Structure 1
Amino acid sequence: MLISRRGLIGSVAALAVTGTARAPAALGPLGSLVTPKQESDIVKAARRALATHGGMAAQRDVVGVADFSPASRDPRFHLVDMASGRVSSFLVAHGRGSDPDHCGWLKRFSNDPGSSATSDGVYLTAGEYPGKHGRSMRLKGLDPTNDNAEPRAVVMHGAWYVSPEMVAEHGKLGRSEGCFAFSEADLPRVLERLGPGRLITAGKF
């Protein structure tokens, strides 16, 4: 990506001094909350995932929903508590192959090896491991649209290019190689609630 870690750190430091950190007005407010309709659609997507692949899930209490309809500046990875219907939302990056021009919007999904793109479909969370990005979690693709997740090494991990500061400075997140990349601050909570044996569904809902 074109945004360097050194440049980002310098920009964030400057914003902290001036107190002007904010997303560009034309791009909408940072951390916008989902609307009631969006929340309903998210819960419905979680229920569909359980209806189609619940037999693969050892745990059905929480489902992850990655709704790539919004731009990357918006929280679009949702943890759905299936008992209460409560939704918690987080920033997540999409793959560079899904957004070749780095406009901040996911343009296409792909399951092809080497595509560096995000894949749609339902995933099963597997074990954690220490990877090159630190704490990470393996994923198994359960649909024909994402069944290359394991050979493509599509996982969940933290990344420096995912943060509110990145959105405030650039109006968008950086891009992954197809993985679900979270802020390093949010990753522990996401992994703890989506421990092994739970489902994630990704698409445009």
Structure 2
Amino acid sequence: MLKIGRRSFVQSAMASIAGVSAASLPISAVRAQELPKPELSPEILKRARAAFARHDKRIWQRETMAIADFSAPSRIPRFHMLNMISGETTPLLVAHGKGSDPGHSGWVQHFSNVPGSEATSAGSYIAGESYVGQHGLSRRLIGLDPENDQAENRAIVIHAAWYVDPSLAAERGKIGRSQGCFAFSKDDIGQVLWRLGPGSLLYADKA
């Protein structure tokens, strides 16, 4: 189900958290309801929970776990923020890397951990500190597994991008590609950065 937090992270280094009413939901959250229904793969969910248990000592923010299910095409909200208490998820659009989809089909063809590949890496990540970069307020990621342990060296982060937008998904049947980062719409980046704070787990994979 689609669930929007009652507060949102304002996109600025001097951001403040304020209440959100139904009438002021982000446009992308409203439009997401018009996109194909997002469904988290049971197999990916199982692997994500196993990763949560495996990296238990590294995780100190346990309210939310993020799961990027790259079994789905980019036109579908496939980044699931799972509330570990209620079990409810918030599905959002997320881009994958150019190197994982050279032909820009909208589907992840393969993963890579190689520097310069511009590909998405599978595996478990711990969310790091936020910073302000070329894409505005962003968050660093630390790869915990052999298949993504170059994440910091590759500057794989969470950031906003113009090419992640529900209108693009609807019109073209896909969104744009990143250089391997987890890129979100400008309307959604706030809640991603707020809910997926330092010490949270992000798991990425495909069935």
TM-score (norm 2): 0.81
Contact conserved, 1:75 with 1:91, CA < 8 A, in 2? yes
Between the aligned residues of both structures, percent identity stands at: 53
AA aligned opposite 1:92: V
AA aligned opposite 2:195: R
Unaligned runs of 5+ in 2: 1-32
Contact conserved, 1:120 with 1:145, CA < 8 A, in 2? yes
Report deviation, 1:31. 2.2
> 2:127 is matched with which residue?
125
Query: Which of 30, 37, 46 is residue 33 of structure 1 equivalent to?
Result: 37
> In terms of Rg, which structure is larger?
1
1:27-106 mapped onto 2 (5 Å cutoff): 30-35=34-39, 38=40, 40-41=42-43, 43-106=45-108
AA aligned opposite 2:203: T
Contact conserved, 1:30 with 1:74, CA < 8 A, in 2? no
Unaligned runs of 5+ in 1: 1-28
Report deviation, 1:40. 4.4
AA aligned opposite 1:91: L
> 1:164 is matched with which residue?
166
> 2:183 is matched with which residue?
181
AA aligned opposite 1:173: I
Aligned CA distance change for structure 1 residues 108 and 177 (closer, same or farther; 3 Å): same
AA aligned opposite 1:95: G
> 2:10 is matched with which residue?
none
SS at match of 2:76: coil
> 1:140 is matched with which residue?
142
Q: Cα deviation per residue 1:153-174 (whole Å; 9 max; x = unaligned)?
A: 0000000000101112211010
Contact conserved, 1:122 with 1:141, CA < 8 A, in 2? yes
AA aligned opposite 1:140: I
Determine the C-alpha separation between the residues in 1 that align with 2:106 and 2:50. Answer: 27
Determine the C-alpha separation between the residues in 2 that align with 1:40 and 1:85. Answer: 13
Contact conserved, 2:35 with 2:170, CA < 8 A, in 1? no
Report deviation, 1:43. 4.1
Report deviation, 1:72. 0.3
> 2:25 is matched with which residue?
none
Determine the C-alpha separation between the residues in 1 that align with 2:41 and 2:97. Answer: 24
Determine the C-alpha separation between the residues in 2 that align with 1:116 and 1:42. Answer: 23
Aligned CA distance change for structure 1 residues 113 and 154 (closer, same or farther; 3 Å): same
Aligned CA distance change for structure 1 residues 42 and 189 (closer, same or farther; 3 Å): farther
Determine the C-alpha separation between the residues in 2 that align with 1:137 and 1:107. Answer: 25
AA aligned opposite 1:163: D
**What CA RMSD, in Å, does the superposition of the two structures yield over aligned residues?**
1.5
Q: Cα deviation per residue 1:56-90 (whole Å; 9 max; x = unaligned)?
A: 01111110000000110000000001111101100
Report deviation, 1:33. 2.2
